[in-house]
Structure formats: structure tokens, C-alpha cells
Amino acid sequence: MKRFFLFLLFPEVGFRKEVQAKKISRGKLIYAVSINFVLPLLFLIVGLIINANQPLKERIQALQDTDVSEVVDDYGRYASIPFIFLLDRVGMPARTPFVLRALTFTSAYIIGDAVVYRTKQFTQVTRPKQEYGNTSFPSQHTNQAFLASMTLHHEYIGSKGGGIVSAAGMLCAGSVGYLRYARDKHWSSDVLVGAAVGMMAVNIAYMFLYGLLTMLVQKSWTFIRSKFKR
């Protein structure tokens, strides 16, 4: 049972091993549990409740409005991606090698994108401004922003300064979600569920796909080396 909860709360295997070895501070443990488990579940539950209550959804929507340029959130969803692959080049070690990092992130991206796209097509929720169409629920921009920031979190949370990097990534993703809501591109429920999907997709990738991808890369490398030795 203990192993199951460790697996559930700490999807990234390197961090989980450090937790088991008691090499992680209590503050980082609490932060990691909040990001890995508590927030995605909370976002999902609250988002679904709001989405089911149209009057509540409209009241929340009326609370904010801004004229910020669309370019901010259109490009902001990708802001964390370069840091996933560059921070280890400037002295902050990532938890996984570059190739596996790229494959895991790509797998999570495919999962999140597929879930959001299929949900949009199935629910056909009209956006706050009807001229934007009926593919509102959940938010793809927010999903993509949290996919990137969650991967950044998993890769660097154990490194020195990793907590700051993780928090900065989450703040960036949260800003993208806020702008989608504040500019009437999405309902608050769209943003919350989009964030949950992105975070959960990354967790699934690190839980279940990372081991398979590791084996695939190792076998491919062994095969290539054997060919060149001939």
C-alpha cells in the first residue's frame, strides 16, 4: 500500500527514489504532493462542478475582463518548453536524459491533446463570446501550458533551485489560464479542467510510459551499436 501511494504521489521515478531514501526536505515533499496530486484533482472537481452549473459559470465570468493582447496567451503556453531542455545545459541537472525527456514530454502532449480534442467535440460547449465558436470545454491553451510547466516541475524539482523553477513554470501556466478566462475566450471551468488534464497527462506519462520508453531507447541503442561493431 505504501508503494502504491508513493507511485501515485510521485510519478517521476528519480524523485520517488529520493523520497524513499529520505533525501527530500519536508517543504519540497509538501510542494510536490500539492502539484502532483492535490491541485490536478482539485482543478478537475471544481471545474466539473462549475461547468454543470450555468448560472454560477456566468456569474464567475462576469467578475473579470481585460483587453490584454491575444498574443500573450497564444505564445505563453509554450514558454516553459525551452527550459525543460536547456536548464541542464547551464548547470541544473534534469532527472532524465535528453532523449527520454523529449519522448516523455511528447507522449504526455499527445495524451493531453487527444483528451482535450475529443472532449471538445463531444461536449460542444459554446464559448463566453458566441462568435468564438462551440469548442470551449476544456481549454487547449491551458492544457498545453500546464503540460509544459508540469514536465519542467518533474525534471527539476529535486535540483538546487528546482522549487523556484517549478513555481515559475506553474505561475506562467496559471497566467495563460487566467488570460483565457479574463478575455472571454473560455469559461473558468474550461481553464480549470484544461489545467487538470495537462497535469494528469504528464503524471500518466511519467508513471506508465517512462519505463517503456527507457527500455525502447536502450534496446535501440544496443541494436545500433551492434550494427556498427560488425
Between these two residues, 102 and 2, which has the higher pLDDT value?
102
* pLDDT at 196 exceeding the cut of 90: yes
**220 burial level (CB within 10 Å; 0-12, 13-18, 19+):** exposed
Length of the chain measured in residues: 230
Helix count and strand count (H, E) for the chain: 12, 0
- Work out the pLDDT band at 114, boundaries 50, 70, 90: very high
Give per-residue pLDDT as tens, 48-63.
Answer: 999 999 999 999 999 9
pLDDT at 2: 78
* pLDDT at 223 exceeding the cut of 90: no
Rg, the chain, Cα only: 19
DSSP 55-88: HHHHHHHTT------HHHHHHHTTTTHHHHHHGG
Q: Hey, what's the cell of 79? A: 514558454
Give per-residue pLDDT as tens, 17-51.
Answer: 899 998 888 999 999 999 999 999 999 999 999 99
pLDDT at 210: 72
Query: Which domains can be identified in the chain, with CATH numbers?
Result: 25-222 (1.20.144)
**pTM for the whole thing?**
0.90
- Work out the pLDDT band at 217, boundaries 50, 70, 90: low
